[in-house]
Structure 1
Amino acid sequence: MSTPAEQIVRLTSLSPGAGCACKLPLASLEELIREFGESVQPANTDLLIGMAEGDDAAVLRLDDDRALILTTDFFTPIVDRAYDWGRVAAANALSDVYAMGGRPLIALNLAAWPGADLPIELLAEVMQGAAAVASEAGCMVVGGHTIDDPVPKYGMAVVGMAHPDRLFAIDKAMPGDELVLTKPLGTGVIATALKRGAAEEEQVKAAVDSMTTLNASASEAALAAGARAATDVTGFGLLGHLHRMLRASGVSAEIHAREVPLLPGALELASAGFVSGGTRANISFLADAVHVDDGVSEDLSVLLHDAQTSGGLLIACPGPSAGLLADLRERGLPAVAVGRVTEGAAGEVAVGNG
């Protein structure tokens, strides 16, 4: 679905973030929630999850059987093909609904576009890619908003639905839960290498395939397994999102680094130094909370902090995870048990080889 214009425009060169989705750094987000979150928490008993929790989306109970989920996400180009950027952006925006245990219903496009510098046909391709993924999810795309901006950005605002008694939240992890990751890591280093002209075609394809895989099946399997705590792994990396879940739940965790699945070429690209600014910010912020065993290589440690885009779900599975893993693999997902929740200082993570 490429156009002549697409062949001459490297979209990623217009992104200020080297291969990352340009999320606000974790440290800045934590400060924002401290300064702003409590003051705007509405006094409404039907608001099941709001800003104060710092979760993946907001959830409002409509009645005993229905809860409305509201989320949004958007970012600068992470791949060169406009159609693929739209696919990744849509899967990423829809993921927050799945991370709450819901299903997406309806979405709006959000776009910033340098109309004087890039043909509008490229934006049409971005939206076509997004519409294809939304259609796969059974989610209607019904309009949106566009502004003129020198740096292109695209994403979606999404409304979903869940049962109020069957929600995932980041503050429900319990000691003894096994931690299951449903997608491999490495999209950050691959996107950074792509921006610098160093990624191989096979590496980029594997990353795009992973980023455009919906978390719908993972969410369904987690619900069937009785999970109550989950999050999707995006810009704060595996360890950053795990840290937030653990701190909210008042628990610690162990991660078995050798068990963590990686995308093809990710370890080599990390070793070659293709590390985004977002990943470096994650490493800095988590330095006091994450304790990495000397036996874990520096490159693997970097990937555990790697800023992901449209990553998998991190599920805290109550009891043994064998049944959940079998279900996830039957659904075609490369899921792996990567650690467990433990008693200890809230938010701390011990990383060993396992």
Structure 2
Amino acid sequence: MDASTEKPRLTSLAHGGGCGCKLAPAVLQDLLSGMPKAGPYAGLLVGTETADDAAVWDLDGTTSIIATTDFFMPMVDDPHAFGRIAATNAISDIYAMGGKPIFALAIVGMPIDKMNPEDIRQVLAGGASICVEAGIPVAGGHSIDCPEPVYGLAVIGTCPTAQVKRNSMARAGDVLILTKGIGVGIYSAAIKKAALDRAGLDEMIASTTLLNRIGPELAADEAVHAMTDVTGFGILGHGLEMARGSNATLTLDLAALPFLDEAERLAQSGFVTGASHRNWKSYGDEVVLPDGLEDWRRHLLTDPQTSGGLLVAVEPGKADALLARIREAGYPRAAIVGTVEAGEPRLVVA
């Protein structure tokens, strides 16, 4: 195959990748501010008012329906892996609310003049394989011819109404647990420049295809007060959403945050996404950083995560036991990373 007919890298067909494709937090907030309110629907327990992970509708006072959608452009060149990552990320929003997924619908936009049909089939197969792991069918969907490859899912789940977990329910005194390592956006920036080795790629795929299926178990624990998943706005952005929603100050311990193995080295070498800059510009005035913090360390904190971990606010006396349960369930990087305190709604890094 000569250079003129060589198949293009999947990531080269898109201007962004993964959750780094998200609109900047400030842009999204501005767009939503002009939208009409959803109205006085008694069954709508969670809408857009708290920047939560999914919509929640109370059916009968006992059971709630959780609905979400998530899709993005490729962050890896392997189409099967792209499908798996996108599906894992989409299902995560159900788990983050404390729910169990019941079925999914595929969202597919592909440049059919640029992609081999077999590669498109592999994207779909990858997504379907993750749905099998989650125990749900892909029950339908919609597809279009699109200038850039886009894939994701709309996912429906259920949850006992009393166990729905919002990002706005953290309490003063709570301890914060993060279940996965940070650095996915930095790794994806390295992929774009062919600077991530096979071990790093395998590590990133393993993290981004690890389902947050422990969410319903955590939601059933009365000691767990709030949850969210850390995705495109970074640990600072999603922590700040929890602080705003809970009307509290969240403090993160920089030394305690878990990172992917090569994240710090790559950040120091300048691998950073445009989304990291947009994130800081959007919410930096509500974040207090240590004096003299290097830019590369700040980029770790604003790094957009794709299919990131759960950020969990838990009663302090139960935090150690809960952390042990999370690690035993298959999340070895899980760590206690901060606290919730009464005070101005902001985020502090110590």
> Please, what TM-score do these two structures have when normalized by structure 1?
0.94
Q: Is residue 16–residue 74 contact of structure 2 (8 Å, CA) maintained in 1?
A: no
Alpha-carbon deviation of 1:218?
Answer: 4.3
Give aligned-pair identity as a percent: 41
Alpha-carbon deviation of 1:33?
Answer: 2.5
**What per-residue deviation string (whole Å, max 9, x for no partner) do you get for residues 179-221 of structure 1?**
1000000000000110111111111110110000000024423
User: Is 1:182 equivalent to 2:183 in the alignment?
Assistant: no
Q: Is residue 98–residue 218 contact of structure 2 (8 Å, CA) maintained in 1?
A: no
Residue aligning to 1:265: 262
Which of the residues 70, 76, 100 maps onto 1:73?
Answer: 70
Residue aligning to 2:3: none
Q: Is residue 270–residue 299 contact of structure 1 (8 Å, CA) maintained in 2?
A: yes
Alpha-carbon deviation of 1:349?
Answer: 1.3
Residue aligning to 2:10: 11
- Within 2, Cα distance between the matches of 1:81 and 1:294? 41
Residue aligning to 1:327: 325
Runs (5+) with no aligned partner, structure 1? 1-6
- Within 2, Cα distance between the matches of 1:17 and 1:267? 22
Residue aligning to 1:336: 335
Residue 12 of structure 2 aligns to which amino acid in structure 1?
A: S
Alpha-carbon deviation of 1:308?
Answer: 0.6
> CA-atom RMSD, angstroms?
1.5
Runs (5+) with no aligned partner, structure 2? 1-5
Residue aligning to 1:198: 195
**What per-residue deviation string (whole Å, max 9, x for no partner) do you get for residues 101-128 of structure 1?**
0010010110101111111211110111
For 2:313, what is the secondary structure of its paired residue? strand
- Within 2, Cα distance between the matches of 1:18 and 1:33? 23
- Within 2, Cα distance between the matches of 1:289 and 1:48? 27
- Within 1, Cα distance between the matches of 2:209 and 2:299? 23
- Within 1, Cα distance between the matches of 2:173 and 2:67? 31
Residue aligning to 1:249: 246
**What per-residue deviation string (whole Å, max 9, x for no partner) do you get for residues 238-280 of structure 1?**
0100101111111111110010000011111111111111111
Residue aligning to 1:51: 48
Paired positions, count? 343
Residue aligning to 1:169: 166
User: Is 1:240 equivalent to 2:237 in the alignment?
Assistant: yes
Q: Is residue 109–residue 143 contact of structure 1 (8 Å, CA) maintained in 2?
A: yes
Alignment of 1:276-295 (within 5 A): 276-294=273-291
Moved more, 251-260 or 316-325: 316-325
Q: Is residue 177–residue 336 contact of structure 2 (8 Å, CA) maintained in 1?
A: yes
- Within 1, Cα distance between the matches of 2:20 and 2:303? 12
Alignment of 1:18-97 (within 5 A): 21-36=20-35, 39-97=36-94
- Within 2, Cα distance between the matches of 1:139 and 1:18? 26
